Amino acid sequence: MNGNPTYHAIALAVGTLLVLPIPVGVLAGWTPRRFRGRWSAARLHARAVLCLYTLMPINAVPRMLDASADTVTACTLLGFVSLAASAVFFIRAERAVGRTPTRVS
């Protein structure tokens, strides 16, 4: 049912390399040029992307360990909680952008 763990490991490694660096950098203090005037929105976007990132290990690790179907299903349901948290952070970020005056350059 769980497939080849090598494929899950490769997908998790590639996803980590592509998704993780920018949100971690933003939370550490670096801000992309697009978000320079909206620091709070940048942090909220970073948290939302990290919540989306947690879907990867939550779904891949049980399959890599050849866990039971009940464990895989429970982790998949936990992934939906992470997805909902991400949606909340994205909504809060958009509301923060709406309150922040934008500079025209």
DSSP for 17-85?
Answer: HHHSHHHHHHHHT---GGGTT-HHHHHHHHHHHHHHHHHHHHHHHHHHTT--HHHHHHHHHHHHHHHHH
104 inside domain: no
18 inside domain: yes
Range of the domain at 17: 5-99
Q: How confident is the model at residue 79 (pLDDT cuts 50, 70, 90)?
A: very high
Count the domains in the chain: 1
Radius of gyration, alpha carbons of the chain: 17
Of the chain, the end-to-end C-alpha distance in Å amounts to 55
The structure's pTM equals 0.82
List, for residues 4-33, the tens digit of each pLDDT value. Answer: 899 999 999 999 999 999 999 999 988 777
105 inside domain: no
Neighbours of 33 (CB within 10 A): 5
59 inside domain: yes
Task: Tell me the C-alpha distance between 37 and 81, whole Å.
Answer: 31
91 inside domain: yes
